[in-house]
Amino acid sequence: MINKVMVLFTSVALLLIGCTGQDSDHAKEKHQSVETAASAQDEGQREKEEQEEAPKAENTEEKVKPEYRVNKDTWSFEPIGDADPKVVLLTFDDAPDKYSLEIAKTLHRLKVPAIFFVNGHFLENDANKAMLKEIHELGFPIGNHTYSHVNLTELTEKEQEREIVKLNNLVEGIIGERPKYFRAPFGSNTNHSKEVAKKEKMLVMNWTYGYDWEKEYQDKNTLTEIMLNSPYLGNGANLLMHDRKWTSEAIEDIVKGFQKKGYEILDPNLIETPA
Residues 127 and 216 in one domain: yes
Does residue 60 lie in a domain region? no
Of the candidates 140, 142, 130, which has an alpha carbon nearest to the alpha carbon of residue 106? Answer: 140
pLDDT at residue number 38: 40
- Same domain, yes or no, for 142 and 40? no
> Does the N-terminal peptide bond of residue 55 adopt cis geometry, omega within 30 degrees of 0?
no
pLDDT at 100 over 70: yes
Q: Could you tell me where the DSSP H helices lie in the chain? A: 2-53, 100-110, 126-137, 157-175, 191-199, 220-229, 245-260
Q: How confident is the model at residue 62 (pLDDT cuts 50, 70, 90)?
A: low
Tens digit of each residue's pLDDT (9 = 90 or more) over 113-154: 999 999 999 999 999 999 999 999 999 999 999 999 999 999
Residue 258, domain extent: 68-270
Q: Are residues 8 and 36 in the same domain?
A: yes
Instruction: With a cut of 80, say whether residue 39 has pLDDT above it.
Output: no
Please, which pLDDT band fits residue 30 given cuts at 50, 70 and 90?
very low
Instruction: Give the model's confidence band at 43: pLDDT under 50 very low, under 70 low, under 90 confident, else very high.
Output: very low
Is residue 235 in a domain? yes
What's the domain count of the chain?
2
Domain end residue (candidates: 55, 81, 100): 55
pLDDT-wise least confident of 63-67, 168-172, 218-222: 63-67
Predicted confidence (pLDDT) at residue 41 exceeds the cutoff of 60 = no
Give the model's pLDDT for residue 64.
Answer: 83
- Which contiguous run of DSSP H or E holds residue 267? none
Residues 101 and 7 in one domain: no
What's the pLDDT score for residue 40? 41
* Residues facing 209 on adjacent strands: 239
**What pLDDT is recorded for position 167?**
98
Per-residue pLDDT, averaged over 77-95, amounts to 97
Instruction: Examine residue 62 and state whether it is found in any structural domain, yes or no.
Output: no
43 lies in the same domain as 135: no
Tell me which H or E stretch contains 203: strand 203-204
Q: pTM (2 decimals)? A: 0.78
* Pair 138, 213 in one domain: yes
Pairing of strands 115-118, 142-144: parallel
Q: Tell me: do 74 and 117 sit in the same domain.
A: yes
Q: Give the model confidence (pLDDT) of 47-59 as tens digits.
A: 444 434 333 333 3
Same domain, 49 and 72: no
Give the residue from 253, 245, 241, 252 showing the smallest Cα distance to 211.
241
Please indicate, yes or no, if residue 26 is contained in any of the structural domains.
yes
Tens of pLDDT, residue by residue over 179-213, are: 999 999 999 999 999 999 999 999 999 999 999 99
